[in-house]
């Protein structure tokens, strides 16, 4: 049984990050491996609650108290088995997920929550280091073939589940390498690509076939997929970046969507190209958007040698602790979230809106004009009011728009399947994860909209279960979420 006094004996503690002056000189991960004693102490803080709300916070339904107690006792292999029973890729989520499970931790009612995310990634690291992660090929082939379009976490999770059930799975990826945003959208200082490659080796050994450089809908058509496969899963993400085309000066040189900056930067780090067309070196950079993508741009700008970086957020400065009247436990709290990139430098400005990108007279951006705003929410409707007389200019040689995504890209494949994007720019699915096209399923951001990696994996697993059932295969696969499931929020 768990240690009933663990949370009294140990305070919440995370491993120290690599020193800022050192880490901004390379692209390696910010966190070094944690010491085993630290992780076992942190796992000991878990109370193994009678009703573990962390299960509700996590869409995968991870058996968190189980593997916390196994780590406490040093049973790393059993902990790995318990973790992998619900999560195909804990080494991804342990690095990249913002941990809604921690927001729902019962200990968080009156104390700091358990470091669930850190324990998770250390279990995954131990599993790879000690050889616990091995291929699990199906004992027999089912005779069915499934195509997966997109190789992000949703597509990969579905592919692995289906391959282990005996189906012949082919994953199609438009880029030249597998991984989706894991590969080219997220910088190496958050997840080194060797981590992704190690898991892909397992999938290949389990029989998953990968085809890169294939733009489905162009290089092969919907009719080709129907002829070759018994079912199709669309998991191509929600990569249509939100833009501000109406803002004066938007088309000036030096104003870019965030992904136009992040993708080539990742390719340079991977050694696939020598230079990036959008380099922050020596420039005054302004990042518009205060979320994960904005923080990614911030960390990249530091490592490229920016002269200075300012990150803008339209919302007012949030509180540092949960406001119980607005975001009661166990819902996801709106609080100030400091990413490792923020301690590396740069300034953050809250409660401002962009008024204009200022021209230097030669078609280049030289500044960004902002004004303070008042943000109010009445009956669930958010209104933003400009405060007159607060306009000011911020110097900017490079402006990066990191203000979210508008949904999945319009693409020929959707027209060929006669599937229409809904008003949110993503695809609808019925209770069986099937789109309006027979035998064509959808999962991940392409269905939910830009969301958390843990939701992508959960939807991939659930869509795989639905496809398995659709094919009439024997048995059931785990399905952690319904197609209409929503996160635990206020």
453-487 pLDDT, tens digit each? 999 999 999 999 999 999 999 999 999 999 999 88
So what's the pLDDT on residue 326?
Answer: 84
Looking at every residue in the chain, the average pLDDT score rounds to: 95
DSSP-derived letter for residue 331 is: S
So what's the pLDDT on residue 375?
Answer: 84
pLDDT tens column, 227-258: 999 999 999 999 999 999 999 999 999 999 99
pLDDT at 489 over 70: no
So what's the pLDDT on residue 432?
Answer: 98
So what's the pLDDT on residue 52?
Answer: 92
Q: 50 pLDDT band (50/70/90 cuts)?
A: confident
CB-based contact 442:435 (threshold 8 Å): yes
Between 93 and 488, whose confidence is greater? 93
Measured distance CA(219)–CA(174) in Å, rounded: 10
Tell me the three state secondary structure of residue 395. strand
pLDDT tens column, 433-449: 999 999 999 999 999 99
pLDDT tens column, 134-191: 999 999 999 999 999 999 999 999 999 999 999 999 999 999 999 999 999 999 999 9
Measured distance CA(294)–CA(312) in Å, rounded: 9
pLDDT at 115 over 80: yes
Q: Look at residues 374, 383, 399, 488 and name the one whose alpha carbon lies nearest to residue 61.
A: 488
pLDDT tens column, 371-418: 999 988 777 788 889 999 999 999 999 999 999 999 999 999 999 999
pLDDT tens column, 305-337: 999 999 999 999 999 989 888 889 999 999 999
DSSP-derived letter for residue 99 is: -
Evaluate if pTM is beyond 0.85: yes
**460: number of Cβ within 10 Å:** 29
So what's the pLDDT on residue 486?
Answer: 84
């Amino acid at each position: 049984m768990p240690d009933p006094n663990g949370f009294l004996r140990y305070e919440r503690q995370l491993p120290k990050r690599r020193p800022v002056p050192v880490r901004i000189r390379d692209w390696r991960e910010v966190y070094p491996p944690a010491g085993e004693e630290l992780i076992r102490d942190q796992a000991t803080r878990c109370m193994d609650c009678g009703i573990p709300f962390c299960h509700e916070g996590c869409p995968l339904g991870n058996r968190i108290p189980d593997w916390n107690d196994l780590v406490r006792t040093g049973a790393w292999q059993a902990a790995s088995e318990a973790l992998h029973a619900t999560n195909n890729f804990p080494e991804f989520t342990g690095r990249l997920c913002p941990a809604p499970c921690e927001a729902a931790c019962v200990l968080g009612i009156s104390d700091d929550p358990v470091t669930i995310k850190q324990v998770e990634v250390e279990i995954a690291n131990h599993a790879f280091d000690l050889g616990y992660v091995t291929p699990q090929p199906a004992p027999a082939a089912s005779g069915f073939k499934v195509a997966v379009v997109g190789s992000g976490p949703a597509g990969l999770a579905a592919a692995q589940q289906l391959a282990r059930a005996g189906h012949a799975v082919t994953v199609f990826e438009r880029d030249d390498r597998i991984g989706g945003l894991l590969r080219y959208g997220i910088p190496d200082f958050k997840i080194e690509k060797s981590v992704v490659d190690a898991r892909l080796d397992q999938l290949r050994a389990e029989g998953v076939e990968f085809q890169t450089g294939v733009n489905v809908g162009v290089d092969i058509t919907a009719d080709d997929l129907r002829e070759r496969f018994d079912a199709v899963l669309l998991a191509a993400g929600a990569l249509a970046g939100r833009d501000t085309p109406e803002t004066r000066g938007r088309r000036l040189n030096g104003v870019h969507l965030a992904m136009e900056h992040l993708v080539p930067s990742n390719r340079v780090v991977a050694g696939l190209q020598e230079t990036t067309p959008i380099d922050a070196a020596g420039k005054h950079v302004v990042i518009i958007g205060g979320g994960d993508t904005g923080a990614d741009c911030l960390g990249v700008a530091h490592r490229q040698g920016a002269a200075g970086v300012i990150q803008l957020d339209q919302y007012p400065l949030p509180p540092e602790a949960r406001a119980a009247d607005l975001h009661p436990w166990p819902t996801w709290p709106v609080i100030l979230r400091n990413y490792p990139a923020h301690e590396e430098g740069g300034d953050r400005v809250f409660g401002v809106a962009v008024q204009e990108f200022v021209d230097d007279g030669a078609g280049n951006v030289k500044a960004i004009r902002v004004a303070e705003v008042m943000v109010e929410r009445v009956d669930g409707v958010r209104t933003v009011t400009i405060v007159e007389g607060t306009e000011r200019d911020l110097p900017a040689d490079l402006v990066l728009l990191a203000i979210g995504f508008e949904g999945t890209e319009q693409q020929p494949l959707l027209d060929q399947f006669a599937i229409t994007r809904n008003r949110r720019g993503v695809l609808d699915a019925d209770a069986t994860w099937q789109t309006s096209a027979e035998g064509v399923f959808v999962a991940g951001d392409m269905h939910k909209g830009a969301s958390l990696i843990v939701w992508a994996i959960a939807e991939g697993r659930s869509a795989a279960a639905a496809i398995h059932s659709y094919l009439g295969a024997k048995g059931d696969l785990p399905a952690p979420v319904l197609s209409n499931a929503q996160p635990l929020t206020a």
